[in-house]
Amino acid sequence: MMDTITIKKDIFEELVKKKEEFDAIIESIELMSNLEVQKSIKKSKEDIKAGRVHKLKELL
């Protein structure tokens, strides 16, 4: 037997928004626990500090 649940549209939209926020938090946690990603971020910061960067419009 299936039950029916009625949810107001604004409440449903808020639930979808909260799920998207939760998914983004989970993705951030996964990225921050990945050692390869951490190494890449560290190298990027070092490159920026050393001036090894290009403006996007220079690359286009």
Is 22 within the bounds of a domain?
A: no
Residue 40 sits in which domain range?
Answer: 35-60
Is 25 within the bounds of a domain?
A: no
> Both tokens of residue 56?
């996007």
Q: Provide the domain count of the chain.
A: 1
Q: How far is CA 22 from CA 25, 27, 49, in A?
A: 5, 9, 32
pLDDT tens, per residue, the chain with 60 residues:
789 999 999 999 999 999 999 999 999 999 999 999 999 999 999 999 999 998 888 888
Predicted local confidence at residue 53, as pLDDT: 93
Is 5 within the bounds of a domain?
A: no
Is 45 within the bounds of a domain?
A: yes
The radius of gyration of the chain from alpha carbons, rounded to an integer in Å, stands at: 21
Q: What is the pTM of this model?
A: 0.60
Predicted local confidence at residue 18, as pLDDT: 98
